[in-house]
Structure 1
Amino acid sequence: MLEKAPVEKYENKTKQHSAFSLEKSRNAKRPSVVKIMIYTFLVLLAVICFIPFLMMLVNATRSNEEILTGFQLLPGTSLVENYQTMMNYINIWAGFKNSLIISVLVTVLSGYFSALTAYGFAFYTFKGKNFLFVFMLIMMMVPGQLGLIGFYELSKNLGILDTFIPLIVPAIASPFVVFFLRQYIQTTLHPSLIEASRIDGASEFKIFHTVAIPIMMPAIATMSIFTFIGSWNNYIVPLVVLFSPEKYTLPVLMGFLKGSQVAQNLGSMYLGIAISVVPIMVAFLFLSKYIVNSISAGSIKE
C-alpha cells in the first residue's frame, strides 16, 4: 500500500494536467470563433454599405425603362446616352472644376491657418487669450445660416459677389478646426521641444513649420477630410453669392438638374450624382490612409 501511494499521486497529477491542457486548448479556440463572427459581421456591414454605391454606378449605365423594372448587378449600355442627355442641360465638368478649385483652396488654407492659430493658443501667452478662445467656442454654437443675409450685404458692399472669394476666405476661419487642433497639439507636443528649438536658435515660424506641423499632421489630415467634404457639398452660400452659370459649383448645378427635364431620365440623374460623389470617396480614402500611416509612425520618439 505504501508503494502504490506515489503512483496514485502521479496518476492524479497527470489527469489534472491533461484536464487543464484540454481546458486551455478549448479557451484558446474560443477567441478564434469570436474573431470569425466579428469579421463576418464587419464584412456583411461593408457589403451593405457598398450596395447603394453599386446601385448608383450600375443605374448610371442603364436607361430609364431598365431602372424602373428593378435593380440588377450587370451594368447597362446607356451610359453614353445618359451622359449626352445630362450635358445638353448643364456643363457638369465646369461645375466640377469650380467645386474642386474652391474645395482644395479651402482645405489647404483652412488647415494651415487653423494650425497656426491653434499653435498660438496652445503655446503663447497674450492679453485677451482666454476671452478670444471663449468667443471662438461660442461662435461654434451659432449656425452659419443666421448670418447669411448680413454676409450677402457685406459681400455686396465689398464688391466680391459672383466671385469665389466669399466661398474661400470666410471658410479659412473655422472655429471647430482650431479647437480640435489646439486640443490635439496640447497632448502631443511637449513644450520642452519648443524650448530646445529656441535654444538652438530657430525662429518662431521655423519651429512651427519644422516641429509643430509634422506632429499636427494626423489631426490636420483628419480635419481636412471634413473640411473638403463640407466645402464640396456646400449648396446655400454658392446659390446666394454666385449669379453666373459658368461659376456655379457642382451642388448648385445638380439642384438645377433636379428641377429640369433631365429629372425624368433617372439614368442621367444617377450619372450626375456619381460624378459628384466620386471625388469625396477618393479624398476620404487617400486622407484616411495618410492618417493611419502618420499615427502608426508616431510623432515623438524618446
Structure 2
Amino acid sequence: MSYSANYSGATAKNLNSNFYTVKKKGRFSIGRAILYVFMTALAVICFLPFYFMIINCTHSSQDIAQKLLIFPGLEFLENYKRMTLLVPIWKGMANSLMIAVSATILSGYFGALTSFGFAKYKFKGKEFLFAIVLGSLIVPQQIALAGISKVIYTLGLVDNRLALIIPAMANPAMVFFTRYYIQSAVSDSVLESARMDGCSEFRIFNSIVMPMIVPSLATMSIFTFIGSWNSYLLPLFILNTQDKYTMPLMTALAKGVYQNDFGAVYSCIAMSMLPIIVVFSFCSKYIISGLTAGAVKE
C-alpha cells in the first residue's frame, strides 16, 4: 500500500509539473512578441534590396527612373538582350564560377590541414604562429593588397586567373574556425588508434579527420565561395583582359556602358546575384548546423 501511494503521489506530481510547464510555455509573453516583430522587420529590411533589384530588372528604364515599382513587369527579356549586346555576361559567369569553386576547394582542404596541425600537434612556436594567423584576420584587404600585388607581379601572374585562386589556400578564417572544431570533435584516442594500426598522418587526415569535420568545412566553404564570387578589388588590380573578367567587373562594365539604361544594369546585377542566392538558399542549413555544432551537449 505504501509503495502504491508513493507511486500515485509521484505520478500526480509529475502530471502537475507537466501541466504547469505546458501552461508556462503557452502563456503569452510581451517580450517574445516584441522579439518576433523585431526579427520579422529585420528580415523584411534585409530582403527588400533583393526584391527591388529583381523587380527593377523587369521594367523599362523610364519606369525605373520615374516611380517606385512594387510589382514585376514584362521587360526583362528586352533588358537582357540589350545587356548582352556589349557585355559578355556569360563569360564573366563562367570565370567567376571557375575561380570561386577552385578557391573554395583549395581553401577548404589546406585550411583544414593547417587547422589539424594546430589542433593536434605540439611543436615549438605553435601559439605564436597561430597568433600571427589570428592577426591577419584584422588586416584590411586594402592594406594587404600592396603585398599581394607585389608577389603576383614577381611570380608573373598578372592578368592570370591563378592569381585569384592560389591566395585562397591561405584562409585565416578557415584555420581559426576549423581548429576549434577539430579540438572538440576529433578525439585523440581515435588518432592514436589509427596510428597503432599503421595509418600515415595524411591518411589519418584524409580518411578520419575530414569526414568528421564536414559541418565546419561546409559552413566556411559557403562563406569562402560567396567572398570569392563577390571579390572586386583584387580582380580589378590583376585582370586586364575583358574575357577574363569576373562577375563584379562585368557589373561595373555594364554600369559604364549602359549609364542611363537602368533596365540593362539591373539585369546584370540580378544575374550576378542569382548564384549567391541559390547557394545560400540550399546551403543555409549547413551554416546553421556548423555554427551551432557543439553548442548543446547531450
> How much does 1:192 deviate?
1.4
Aligned equivalent of 1:289, options 285, 290, 295? 285
> How much does 1:102 deviate?
0.5
* Counterpart position of 2:254: 257
> How much does 1:27 deviate?
4.4
CA distance in 2, matches of 1:27, 1:176: 42
> How much does 1:39 deviate?
4.9
What percentage of residue pairs aligned between the two structures are identical?
A: 45
What RMSD, in angstroms, separates the aligned Cα atoms of the two structures?
3.0
* Counterpart position of 1:108: 105
* Counterpart position of 2:50: 53
Residue 168 in structure 1 maps to residue 168 in structure 2: no
Range with greater deviation from structure 2 (176-185 or 102-111): 176-185
CA distance in 1, matches of 2:179, 2:188: 14
Aligned equivalent of 1:273, options 251, 269, 272? 269
Residue 203 in structure 1 maps to residue 200 in structure 2: yes
Range with greater deviation from structure 2 (37-46 or 172-181): 37-46
Given the two structures, how large is their TM-score scaled by the length of structure 1? 0.81
> How much does 1:127 deviate?
3.6
* Counterpart position of 2:7: none
CA distance in 1, matches of 2:184, 2:24: 39
**Which protein is bigger by CA-based radius of gyration?**
1
Counterpart code for 1:242: L
**Counterpart contact for 2:219–2:291, Cα < 8 Å:** no
Superposed counterparts of 1:1-302, under 5 Å? 27=24, 29-31=26-28, 39=36, 42-260=39-257, 262-292=258-288
CA distance in 2, matches of 1:146, 1:55: 34
> How much does 1:294 deviate?
6.8
* Counterpart position of 1:12: none
Structure 1: unaligned runs, 5 residues or longer: 1-21
In 2 relative to 1, CA 137–48 (structure 1 residues): closer, same or farther, beyond 3 Å? closer
Cα deviation digits, residues 243-287 of structure 1 (max 9, x gap): 111001111121122222x12111111111111111111112222
In 2 relative to 1, CA 43–147 (structure 1 residues): closer, same or farther, beyond 3 Å? closer
CA distance in 1, matches of 2:180, 2:90: 39
CA distance in 2, matches of 1:227, 1:105: 10
Counterpart code for 1:100: L
CA distance in 1, matches of 2:132, 2:147: 19
CA distance in 1, matches of 2:29, 2:138: 46
- Count of residue correspondences: 279
Counterpart code for 1:188: A
**Counterpart contact for 2:137–2:172, Cα < 8 Å:** yes
Structure 2: unaligned runs, 5 residues or longer: 1-18
Given the two structures, how large is their TM-score scaled by the length of structure 2? 0.82
CA distance in 2, matches of 1:297, 1:186: 13
**Counterpart contact for 2:216–2:291, Cα < 8 Å:** no
